[in-house]
Structure 1
Amino acid sequence: MTFTLHATDSESQARAGTLQLDHGPVETPIFMPVGTVGTVKGVHQRELTDEINPDIILGNTYHLYLRPQMDILKKAGGLHKFMNWDRNILTDSGGYQVYSLSANRKIKEEGVKFKSHIDGSFHFFTPENVMEIQRTIGADIIMAFDECTPYPCDYQYAKRSMHMTHRWLDRCISHLEKTPLPYEHNQTLFPIVQGSTYKDLRKQSAEYIASREAEGNAIGGLSVGEPAEEMYEMTEVVTNILPNDKPRYLMGVGTPINLLENVALGVDMFDCVMPTRNGRNGMLFTAHGTINIKNKKWEDDFSPIDEMGITWVDTAYSKAYVRHLFTVNEMLGRQIATIHNLGFYLWLMREARKHIIAGDFTSWKNKMVTQMDKRL
């Protein structure tokens, strides 16, 4: 993997760059649609490539490990072939899912024992077998195994967890050095900065992660319930330390406003279920604010979903029609909303990139944040 910086904003830390991976270039800043179980929920791969057009999507290690399981993916030749996707894939570490299973898991130095949410069976994740799992999945970018701490989090717990995440990283790196690539493309490991919302811990963690000189770095443990201002504060601490010549990935973030504010802090990569999950529940994001399409006010509004026409659904269907689909519980309504939201997120990042290169990112960002912070 290579990362090239093309431009930086003079009034913020925003950057425009290009990641070169074996399945093609990724222009940053980038939002990665979440394809949890080998699909971006409710969206055909054809719609992804033709309309939303992401350079990279995300797969979920925990979910893919449980279903379809590794033997199936190995026989298929990896996730790219299994889901007929010829662009890049990033897999998360499973750490967030372990965090979310707080009532059904036990964390110790060796790894994490957890109970499957599907059938109650017990499993054990270690840094070593999580590397094996991600090798088998075949993602272009794979994440180090970490513990995602909850919010709020006791300082001593956050400190112990952070140091364990660092030790787990060392084990991940050591294991990968002994593990051959299973397919005909390279895989790049990103370590994850932890430390909850404590500045000194975030600083320590960022310094340790930077010292490992990985090809890219991630920031985890945010967007887990803390106020947005704390998220931004922690992100800034970390981006001031992580090397400028490596991509920075903020995991699990967030709203369109969150994305722009974190781009301004020097983040290059994002993922979040919000555009798909909120879309399935009738929440549409636009450049002028958020629409709850299920509200009665849209019942006889025959204007397009979005006048900008970012994707084909935006001008093909009226607000009244999409509201009708939700009212009668028709699956097409959820699909239209999902395509629109993903298209908007990708458009937002591409516009951010254009304005970074043009040199007017900060003024554009401030205008967009004000516009988008409305309920229509």
Structure 2
Amino acid sequence: MTQRFEFALSARDGRARTGLIKTPRGDIRTPAFMPVGTAATVKAMMPENVRATGADILLGNTYHLMLRPTAERIDALGGLHTFMNWDRPILTDSGGFQVMSLSGLRKMSEEGVTFKSHIDGSKHELTPERSMEIQRLLGSDIVMCFDECTPFPATEAESLRSMQMSMRWANRSRAAFGDRPGYALFGIQQGSVFKDQRAESAEKLREIGFEGYAVGGLAVGEGQELMFDVLDYAPEMLPDDRPRYLMGVGKPDDIVGAVQRGIDMFDCVLPSRSGRTGQVFTRRGVLNIKNARHQNDPRPLDTECRCPACQHYSRAYLHHVFRSQEIISSMLLTWHNLQYYQDLMSGLRAAIAAGDLATFVADFHATRALGDVEPL
């Protein structure tokens, strides 16, 4: 690729920003929500249907793909974009979060992490250099540096040790990534809930230099109030002219609050996972399609939604196919949830561009407070 990765802001409203990330495989409108395609698929969705919701970029998972079908096999088959039939940008995480969650199956050192596969027990090693190699073989457009996601709660001493090692790994990730025009490497800020550690992490990342920056180590059990407390200062420590990505977030009100605090990119399994379990996101809040109140209801899930579930099917039908464990239930409810998330991002972008984010946010919360429509 010859075109370089670029980011241009087009409007601000308070700390909120809207803009465009330019990549050789297409533009990403920010604030952006990235549907999660863990194993080279957004579960229950075809790639063209994911694109139809308005998604500009997907997320793939390094840990799962390195184990099955392996990065080497994907590379031999033409790379991840060809393999999963998605010709637009893909971001891959470093694998660090999944490895760190395998507390009983891994051993960590300064070099990296050795772990046993949750699939067959085989042994593997993941280092900053190996993570960069895997993500290069996958061909992802945005690569995340290898880090340790600090668990919560953690003492100041535990958090400091973890953050400083992640910064050393970030430096090694940058060196291993090299110069790859058209591709981007994002650094990840750590420091748990300690402001001085977040500042130290941001300073070290800026010294190394990255095409984008993530706020890591949040949405790991600390709760929304504490997460927002950190986001009141953490994004401002990162370069203003680069994308800011809040990893693993989240619920709709998490996203709205984070956008108000200067975040540009998000990912979360919630809309697709919830679709498979009957949890539905609407403008009036969350509903559970398996509840008996929907079994005779001819109305759509959300009268303002343009997804196929809302345009062509009733709540009664969706209740029926979910209770009957029909595959179409996961397909339709996942499509709806992803559409809701993309509509939310579109609304946020438009409100920031118009300088009217406060009104949008007030309407968002007021409508959700109404709750679902009364049963017939």
TM-score calculated relative to the size of structure 2: 0.95
Distance 1:234 1:373 in 2: 26
The residue number in structure 2 matching 1:4 is: 8
Within the candidate set 185, 202, 205, 2:201 is matched to 205
Q: Which residue of 2 aligns with 1:124?
A: 125
Q: Supply the distance in 1 between the matched residues of 2:105 and 2:369 (Cα, whole angstroms).
A: 37
Q: Is the 8 A contact 1:24 1:87 kept in 2?
A: yes
Report deviation, 1:207. 2.2
State the Cα deviation string for residues 247-284 of structure 1 (Å, max 9, x = none): 10000000000000000000000000000111111010
Cα distance in 1 for partners of 2:100, 2:371 equals 32
Number of the residue aligned with 2:265: 269
Say whether the 8 Å CA contact 1:34–1:57 is kept in structure 2.
Answer: yes
1:240 is paired with a residue whose SS is helix
The CA deviation at 1:77 is 1.5
For residues 86-141 of structure 1, give each alpha carbon's deviation from its aligned partner in whole angstroms, at most 9, with x where no partner exists. 10000001111012211211111000011111011111100001000000000000
Q: Within 5 Å, give how 1:42-191 maps onto structure 2.
A: 42-49=44-51, 51-177=52-178, 186-191=182-187
Distance 1:356 1:210 in 2: 27
Q: Aligned-residue CA RMSD in angstroms?
A: 1.3
Match runs of 1:5-44 below 5 Å: 5-9=9-13, 12-44=14-46
Q: What do the CA deviations read for 1:221-260 (whole angstroms, capped 9, x no partner)?
A: 1101111011111122211111111110000000000000
Q: Distance in 2 between matches of 1:191 and 1:142?
A: 9
Structure 2: distance between partners of 1:96 and 1:113? 14
SS class of match (2:90): strand
**Match of residue 305 from structure 1:** 301
Instruction: Look up the SS of the partner of 1:142 in the other structure.
Output: strand
Quick check: 2:215–2:235 contact (8 Å CA) kept in 1? no
Q: Hey, what's the Cα distance between the residues in 2 that align with 1:258 and 1:279? A: 19
Taking every aligned residue pair, what percent have the same amino acid on both sides?
46
Matched AA of 2:356: D
Q: Is 1:250 aligned to 2:235, yes or no?
A: no
* C-alpha distance in 2 between matches for 1:366 and 1:131: 42
Deviation at 1:46, TM superposition (A): 2.2
Deviation at 1:161, TM superposition (A): 0.5
In the alignment, is the contact (CA less than 8 A) between 1:52 and 1:343 conserved in 2? Answer: yes
Query: The residue matched to 1:43 in structure 2 has which SS?
Result: coil
Q: Within the alignment, does 1:366 sit opposite 2:362 as a pair?
A: yes
Equivalent residues of 2:282, 2:301 under 8 A apart: no
Distance 1:152 1:310 in 2: 41
Structure 1 position 369, deviation (Å):
2.6
Give, in whole Å, the separation in 1 of the partners of 2:285 and 2:39. 30
The superposition leaves residues 190-235 of structure 1 with CA deviations (integer Å, 9 ceiling, x where unpaired) of 0000111112211211222223231110111110111101111112
Question: Is the CA contact (8 Å cut-off) linking 1:31 and 1:346 kept in structure 2?
Answer: yes
Structure 1: where are the runs of 5+ without partners?
none
Partner secondary structure for residue 309 of structure 2: helix
Aligned equivalents of 2:78 and 2:329: distance in 1?
34
- Pick closer, same or farther for the CA change 1:374–1:226 going to 2, 3 Å: farther
Deviation at 1:304, TM superposition (A): 1.0
Letter of the 1:34 counterpart: V
Q: Contact 1:306 / 1:315 at 8 angstroms: preserved in 2?
A: no
Q: Is the Cα–Cα contact under 8 Å of residues 30 and 268 in structure 1 kept in the other structure?
A: yes
Q: CA deviation at 1:374?
A: 6.3
Which residue of the other structure, out of 296, 310, 319, is the alignment partner of 1:314?
Answer: 310
Letter in 2 for 1:92: D
Distance 1:89 1:296 in 2: 40
> Could you give the per-residue CA deviations for residues 38-96 of structure 1, whole angstroms, max 9, x where no partner exists?
000110112122x3131100000000100110221111111001111110000001111
Cα distance change on mapping 1:207 and 1:369 into 2, 3 Å: farther
Shift of 1:375: 5.1
Change (3 A) 1:133 1:349: same
Q: Distance in 1 between matches of 2:100 and 2:233?
A: 23
- The count of corresponding residues between Structure 1 and Structure 2 is 368
Structure 2: gaps of 5 or more residues: none
Whether the aligned pair in 1 keeps the contact of 2:305 and 2:340 (CA below 8 Å) is: no
- How far apart in 2 are the matches of 1:234 and 1:208? 18
CA distance in 1, matches of 2:68, 2:184: 24
